[in-house]
Amino acid sequence: MKMTSTAVKKFLCGMTIALASVTAFSQPNTAALEDVNKSLEAMFTEVNSFTDGVQFSAEDVESLIDLWGEYEELGGTDDEETIDFDAILADSMYRQWASSHGLVADEWLRKTARISMILYREQMLEAAAMMPNQMEQQMATIERQRDQVGEEVYEQLKAALEASVQYAEMMAKHVNLLPLPTAAEAAILDEYREDLIALMMDEGEGYEEYDDYEEYDDSEDYDE
């Protein structure tokens, strides 16, 4: 298989969007949400286990920034939603690439995962903190547009919003399984955070499931 650098990026910022399809404009699906719950717990536990005992330095972060473009170019398909660390480490293309840069393959990947997941944890907790106010505003918008969009669409939007709240609560719960930085690592991230996030998140990517309802504003016209 190809080395799944794309999967690391997807895990950092795209996994939220992919899993949020469970809630998008549909009735709440308890079984589907429970599947997401189990997947989140399994993935975050795996990441935490993989990065356990590893700490990164400023040199490690600089290496990641310098090599990120090459790392992405190694491959990985766009439809992957999980990270198979064992498969990445067993991949000859990744190991050859790491060796060509004088890297210890498993150590570099573990530190890369740690850096990525610490940032992911920060981003998700920030999003969770904003969630109540966003949901209140979006619910108010849906209520205002009830007559315009019709009862069926109204119920779909309301159900999707309620399911999104459940999803966000699950994320906030499980994200705490991800690693916390040491004091030294936190200081390093303060210096490099902007560069790292710019690398790992394409322009326009983010937690789009919270924005799905913005198109229903008061200025829009609707046909019955």
Whether 210 is in a domain gets the answer: no
What integer is the mean pLDDT of 28-49? 78
- Digit-coded pLDDT (tens) for 50-107: 998 999 999 999 999 999 888 888 864 334 455 788 888 999 999 999 999 999 999 9
pTM for the full predicted model: 0.70
Does 209 reside within a domain?
A: no
Where do runs of H (alpha helix) occur along 80-182?
85-90, 92-100, 105-144, 146-149, 151-174
| 192 pLDDT tier (thresholds 50, 70, 90) | very high
Q: Report yes or no on 23 lying in a domain.
A: yes
Whether 193 is in a domain gets the answer yes
Indicate the angle between helix axes 58-73 and 183-200, nearest 10 degrees: 20
The pLDDT of residue 17 is 38
Q: What's the total number of domains in the chain?
A: 1
Q: Is residue 170 part of a domain?
A: yes
- Residue 220, in any domain of the structure: no
Residue 154 forms part of a structural domain: yes
Task: Spell out a b/e string for 49-67, using b for 16 or more CB atoms within 10 Å of the CB, else e.
Answer: ebbeebebeeebbebbeeb
Q: Do 117 and 179 contact (CB within 8 A), yes or no?
A: yes
For residue range 126-165, list pLDDT tens digits in order: 877 787 788 888 888 888 988 888 888 888 888 888 877 7
- pLDDT for the residue numbered 110: 95
Residue 130 structural domain: 5-202
